[in-house]
Amino acid sequence: MNPIRSLTAKIVLGISCWLMSVGLHAQTAPDELIRSVSQGVLDEIKTDRSLQTGDIERLNLLVDKKVLPYVDFQRMTALAVGRNWRTASPDQQKMLMTEFRRLLLLTYSGAVRQVTDTTIQVRPMRSKPEDDEVIVRTQILRPGTEAVQLDYRLQKSPTGWKIFDMNVMGLWLVEHYRNQFTQVVGAGGIDGLIQSLRDKNQSLASANGPGARRSAK
Protein backbone atom coordinates (compact mmCIF):
# COMPACT_ATOMS: atom_id res chain seq x y z
CA MET A 1 0.00 0.00 0.00
CA ASN A 2 1.47 3.35 -1.05
CA PRO A 3 1.83 6.17 1.52
CA ILE A 4 -1.18 8.14 0.24
CA ARG A 5 -3.51 5.14 0.37
CA SER A 6 -2.09 4.16 3.76
CA LEU A 7 -2.86 7.62 5.17
CA THR A 8 -6.32 7.52 3.62
CA ALA A 9 -6.98 4.14 5.23
CA LYS A 10 -6.11 5.57 8.65
CA ILE A 11 -8.38 8.56 8.04
CA VAL A 12 -11.20 6.23 7.06
CA LEU A 13 -10.77 4.10 10.16
CA GLY A 14 -10.62 7.18 12.34
CA ILE A 15 -13.93 8.38 10.90
CA SER A 16 -15.46 4.94 11.36
CA CYS A 17 -14.59 4.92 15.06
CA TRP A 18 -16.61 8.14 15.46
CA LEU A 19 -19.41 6.93 13.25
CA MET A 20 -19.80 3.97 15.59
CA SER A 21 -20.20 6.36 18.50
CA VAL A 22 -23.73 7.39 17.50
CA GLY A 23 -26.70 5.54 18.99
CA LEU A 24 -28.23 2.85 16.75
CA HIS A 25 -32.01 2.97 16.97
CA ALA A 26 -33.68 -0.44 16.71
CA GLN A 27 -36.27 0.70 14.14
CA THR A 28 -33.87 2.59 11.85
CA ALA A 29 -32.71 0.86 8.67
CA PRO A 30 -28.92 0.38 8.80
CA ASP A 31 -28.18 2.34 5.62
CA GLU A 32 -30.45 5.22 6.63
CA LEU A 33 -28.85 5.25 10.06
CA ILE A 34 -25.35 5.50 8.60
CA ARG A 35 -26.52 8.18 6.18
CA SER A 36 -28.21 10.31 8.85
CA VAL A 37 -25.39 10.25 11.40
CA SER A 38 -22.38 10.62 9.10
CA GLN A 39 -22.53 14.38 8.69
CA GLY A 40 -23.20 14.91 12.37
CA VAL A 41 -20.13 12.92 13.31
CA LEU A 42 -17.95 14.78 10.83
CA ASP A 43 -19.26 18.11 12.13
CA GLU A 44 -18.38 17.11 15.70
CA ILE A 45 -14.82 16.26 14.73
CA LYS A 46 -14.40 19.45 12.72
CA THR A 47 -15.53 21.67 15.62
CA ASP A 48 -13.78 19.89 18.51
CA ARG A 49 -10.15 20.97 18.69
CA SER A 50 -9.25 18.31 21.24
CA LEU A 51 -10.39 15.59 18.83
CA GLN A 52 -8.50 17.20 15.97
CA THR A 53 -5.27 16.97 17.96
CA GLY A 54 -5.82 13.26 18.66
CA ASP A 55 -6.46 13.71 22.39
CA ILE A 56 -6.57 10.13 23.72
CA GLU A 57 -8.22 11.10 27.00
CA ARG A 58 -11.04 12.87 25.14
CA LEU A 59 -11.35 9.89 22.81
CA ASN A 60 -11.56 7.47 25.74
CA LEU A 61 -14.34 9.47 27.38
CA LEU A 62 -16.41 9.55 24.21
CA VAL A 63 -15.88 5.85 23.53
CA ASP A 64 -16.98 4.94 27.07
CA LYS A 65 -20.12 7.03 26.70
CA LYS A 66 -21.11 6.49 23.08
CA VAL A 67 -19.24 3.70 21.32
CA LEU A 68 -19.38 0.64 23.56
CA PRO A 69 -23.18 0.60 24.05
CA TYR A 70 -23.70 0.40 20.29
CA VAL A 71 -20.90 -1.89 19.13
CA ASP A 72 -20.73 -5.61 19.77
CA PHE A 73 -17.14 -5.32 20.90
CA GLN A 74 -17.08 -8.74 22.54
CA ARG A 75 -18.02 -10.35 19.24
CA MET A 76 -15.50 -8.20 17.38
CA THR A 77 -12.72 -9.27 19.75
CA ALA A 78 -13.78 -12.92 19.69
CA LEU A 79 -13.78 -12.96 15.89
CA ALA A 80 -10.37 -11.29 15.80
CA VAL A 81 -8.89 -13.83 18.23
CA GLY A 82 -10.55 -16.67 16.32
CA ARG A 83 -10.81 -20.24 17.58
CA ASN A 84 -8.41 -19.44 20.42
CA TRP A 85 -11.11 -17.28 22.03
CA ARG A 86 -12.92 -20.40 23.23
CA THR A 87 -9.86 -21.65 25.09
CA ALA A 88 -9.28 -18.35 26.89
CA SER A 89 -10.51 -18.01 30.47
CA PRO A 90 -13.07 -15.31 31.32
CA ASP A 91 -10.28 -13.18 32.82
CA GLN A 92 -8.16 -13.62 29.69
CA GLN A 93 -11.11 -12.70 27.48
CA LYS A 94 -11.65 -9.54 29.51
CA MET A 95 -7.98 -8.58 29.19
CA LEU A 96 -8.03 -9.28 25.45
CA MET A 97 -11.03 -6.99 25.00
CA THR A 98 -9.37 -4.26 27.05
CA GLU A 99 -6.08 -4.37 25.16
CA PHE A 100 -7.72 -4.73 21.72
CA ARG A 101 -9.85 -1.67 22.44
CA ARG A 102 -6.76 0.29 23.44
CA LEU A 103 -4.97 -0.85 20.31
CA LEU A 104 -7.73 0.50 18.07
CA LEU A 105 -7.93 3.77 20.00
CA LEU A 106 -4.20 4.41 19.94
CA THR A 107 -3.76 3.35 16.33
CA TYR A 108 -6.43 5.56 14.84
CA SER A 109 -6.75 8.50 17.22
CA GLY A 110 -4.52 10.67 15.08
CA ALA A 111 -6.62 10.16 11.96
CA VAL A 112 -9.45 12.45 13.08
CA ARG A 113 -7.39 15.58 12.46
CA GLN A 114 -7.46 14.81 8.71
CA VAL A 115 -11.23 15.00 8.10
CA THR A 116 -11.79 18.71 7.46
CA ASP A 117 -12.59 18.18 3.76
CA THR A 118 -14.05 14.67 3.97
CA THR A 119 -17.58 13.56 3.06
CA ILE A 120 -19.26 10.15 3.23
CA GLN A 121 -21.50 8.70 0.52
CA VAL A 122 -23.75 5.77 1.47
CA ARG A 123 -24.35 3.32 -1.35
CA PRO A 124 -27.66 1.49 -1.96
CA MET A 125 -28.00 -1.50 0.37
CA ARG A 126 -29.10 -4.91 -0.84
CA SER A 127 -30.86 -6.79 1.94
CA LYS A 128 -34.15 -8.36 2.94
CA PRO A 129 -36.38 -7.14 5.79
CA GLU A 130 -35.85 -10.40 7.66
CA ASP A 131 -32.04 -10.21 7.51
CA ASP A 132 -30.39 -9.96 10.93
CA GLU A 133 -26.90 -9.31 9.51
CA VAL A 134 -26.22 -6.73 6.82
CA ILE A 135 -23.38 -4.84 5.19
CA VAL A 136 -23.68 -1.10 4.67
CA ARG A 137 -21.34 0.07 1.93
CA THR A 138 -20.03 3.62 1.85
CA GLN A 139 -17.42 5.68 0.07
CA ILE A 140 -15.09 8.25 1.60
CA LEU A 141 -14.66 11.27 -0.65
CA ARG A 142 -11.83 13.79 -0.43
CA PRO A 143 -10.96 16.42 -3.06
CA GLY A 144 -8.10 15.39 -5.28
CA THR A 145 -8.13 11.71 -4.29
CA GLU A 146 -10.01 8.66 -5.48
CA ALA A 147 -13.02 7.42 -3.52
CA VAL A 148 -12.16 4.94 -0.76
CA GLN A 149 -14.33 1.95 0.10
CA LEU A 150 -15.56 1.73 3.70
CA ASP A 151 -18.10 -0.96 4.60
CA TYR A 152 -19.76 -1.76 7.92
CA ARG A 153 -21.01 -5.18 8.98
CA LEU A 154 -23.91 -4.91 11.42
CA GLN A 155 -26.00 -7.39 13.37
CA LYS A 156 -29.54 -6.86 14.64
CA SER A 157 -29.77 -7.31 18.40
CA PRO A 158 -32.64 -6.85 20.88
CA THR A 159 -31.36 -3.32 21.52
CA GLY A 160 -30.81 -2.37 17.88
CA TRP A 161 -28.25 -2.71 15.11
CA LYS A 162 -24.65 -3.09 16.26
CA ILE A 163 -21.43 -2.88 14.28
CA PHE A 164 -18.99 -5.76 14.67
CA ASP A 165 -16.63 -5.42 11.69
CA MET A 166 -15.42 -2.93 9.08
CA ASN A 167 -13.97 -3.24 5.59
CA VAL A 168 -11.45 -0.64 4.47
CA MET A 169 -10.37 -0.76 0.83
CA GLY A 170 -11.19 -4.47 0.60
CA LEU A 171 -9.61 -5.44 3.93
CA TRP A 172 -11.89 -6.58 6.77
CA LEU A 173 -10.61 -5.38 10.13
CA VAL A 174 -11.41 -8.61 12.00
CA GLU A 175 -9.71 -10.82 9.43
CA HIS A 176 -6.66 -8.57 9.36
CA TYR A 177 -6.11 -8.85 13.11
CA ARG A 178 -7.06 -12.53 13.28
CA ASN A 179 -4.19 -13.43 10.96
CA GLN A 180 -1.77 -11.59 13.24
CA PHE A 181 -3.25 -12.87 16.50
CA THR A 182 -3.22 -16.52 15.37
CA GLN A 183 0.53 -16.37 14.82
CA VAL A 184 1.15 -14.77 18.20
CA VAL A 185 -1.01 -17.31 20.05
CA GLY A 186 0.74 -20.15 18.24
CA ALA A 187 4.07 -18.92 19.56
CA GLY A 188 3.13 -17.81 23.09
CA GLY A 189 -0.44 -18.82 23.88
CA ILE A 190 -3.23 -16.51 25.02
CA ASP A 191 -1.02 -14.89 27.66
CA GLY A 192 1.54 -14.23 24.95
CA LEU A 193 -1.09 -12.44 22.87
CA ILE A 194 -2.18 -10.33 25.85
CA GLN A 195 1.42 -9.33 26.55
CA SER A 196 2.03 -8.61 22.86
CA LEU A 197 -0.95 -6.28 22.79
CA ARG A 198 0.21 -4.56 25.98
CA ASP A 199 3.67 -4.02 24.53
CA LYS A 200 2.23 -2.66 21.28
CA ASN A 201 -0.08 -0.32 23.17
CA GLN A 202 2.76 0.94 25.36
CA SER A 203 4.80 1.66 22.25
CA LEU A 204 1.94 3.50 20.56
CA ALA A 205 1.17 5.48 23.72
CA SER A 206 4.80 6.56 24.02
CA ALA A 207 4.81 7.67 20.39
CA ASN A 208 1.61 9.69 20.91
CA GLY A 209 2.91 11.62 23.92
CA PRO A 210 2.31 11.96 27.67
CA GLY A 211 -1.47 12.35 27.39
CA ALA A 212 -1.76 9.11 25.49
CA ARG A 213 0.43 7.27 27.99
CA ARG A 214 -1.80 8.34 30.89
CA SER A 215 -5.01 7.35 29.13
CA ALA A 216 -3.65 4.04 27.84
CA LYS A 217 -2.88 2.73 31.32
pTM for the complete prediction? 0.75
Give the pLDDT confidence score for residue 115 in this predicted structure: 65
pLDDT one-digit tens code per residue, 39-89? 666 777 777 777 777 677 776 666 666 556 667 889 999 999 999 999 999
Cα(46)–Cα(69) distance, rounded to whole angstroms?
Answer: 24
Please state the φ and ψ torsions of residue 126, each to the nearest 5 degrees.
-105, 105
According to DSSP, the residues that pair with 152 across neighbouring strands are 136, 166
Report pLDDT digits (tens) over 112-166: 556 667 888 989 888 888 899 999 998 888 888 888 888 889 999 887 788 899 8
DSSP state of 58: H
3-class secondary structure, 209: coil
Alpha-carbon span 123 to 9, nearest angstrom: 19
The fourth-level CATH superfamily of domain 3-216 is Tgt2/MlaC (3.10.450.710)
The answer to whether the beta carbons of residues 71 and 162 sit under 8 Å apart is yes
